[in-house]
Amino acid sequence: MAATEPSATATGIARSLRIYHRDAARTARMDALNARFCRAGGLVFDIGAHVGDRVASFRRLGARVVAAEPQPAAMRALRLLFRRDRDVTLLPAAIGAAEGIVRFHLNTRNPTVSSASAAFIAAAGSAPGWEGERWDSVIDVPALTLDVLIERHGVPDFIKIDVEGHEAEVLAGLGRPVPALSFEFTTMQRDAALDALARMVRLGDYAFNVSIGERHVLERPEWVSAADMAAFLRAAPDALNSGDVFARRI
């Protein structure tokens, strides 16, 4: 690793902290949305916690949080933010389809898009708006599954999954339905989102909604079927870029 990269990583994490922790309007919208799925005294899993803005939101709502984050620099930030909070469990690990070790690709200048998915990085290589992004380091990180987290910590009220193209693999490690969850999608990698949606269908009966970008509001006035959500994912314009699919058990 080049000598300049540690400072680049620190700069990237500092940028993430500014973006995700200092926007009061965004924080208010996020809390209002999360309040629909978690409760005081309940349990939430935050998969791909990054610098912990969602962890902070779940804690403001009174939920206990198990947060998984494989990036060492992001984990250091999480420990600084939550080390005194006994209701936050921090796991320096990736979550996937099986326990073991996974190769994790770091984007030191933009750690928000670091990923365990080689397919995600390949898709970004030809996607408009992703010019100049560089995954410049690879590390081996421990991997756990959602089933292991449930065995150790209990069944969560809500699981948030934001892992840059690795969402379907995370859901492959979940063998039982949970009350609600969300997973990120991108228009540059629609197949990955459709795979994640298909895994939800196999888990149980769910209704779906969507939040676009960083709006943190549900876009549909009514929850829709998996078929309707799949149609939305296929037809969404490329300029929409990304968002989160929400699933609620019915």
Least confident of 20-24, 161-165, 236-240: 20-24
Q: Say which residues have a Cβ less than 8 Å from residue 195's Cβ, sequence separation at least 6.
A: 168
Would you say residue 52 has pLDDT above 90?
yes
Beta pairing class for 242-249 and 206-212: antiparallel
Q: Say which residues have a Cβ less than 8 Å from residue 8's Cβ, sequence separation at least 6.
A: 108, 109
pLDDT in the model for residue 6? 60
Average pLDDT over residues 166-183: 98
Would you say residue 1 has pLDDT above 90?
no
Q: List the one residue out of 125, 117, 127, 237 whose CA is nearest residue 183.
A: 117
For the chain, give the mean pLDDT: 95
Global model pTM greater than 0.85: yes
pLDDT in the model for residue 72? 95
CA distance 35 to 152: 24
CB 44 within 8 A of CB 157: yes
What confidence category does residue 22 fall into, taking pLDDT thresholds of 50, 70 and 90? confident
What confidence category does residue 250 fall into, taking pLDDT thresholds of 50, 70 and 90? very high
Between CA 195 and CA 67, with CA 155 as vertex, the angle to 5 degrees is 75
Domains detected in the chain: 5-249 (3.40.50.150)
SS3 assignment, position 63: coil
Average pLDDT over residues 194-218: 97
pLDDT (tens digit, 9 = 90+) per residue, 55-80? 999 999 999 999 999 999 999 999 99
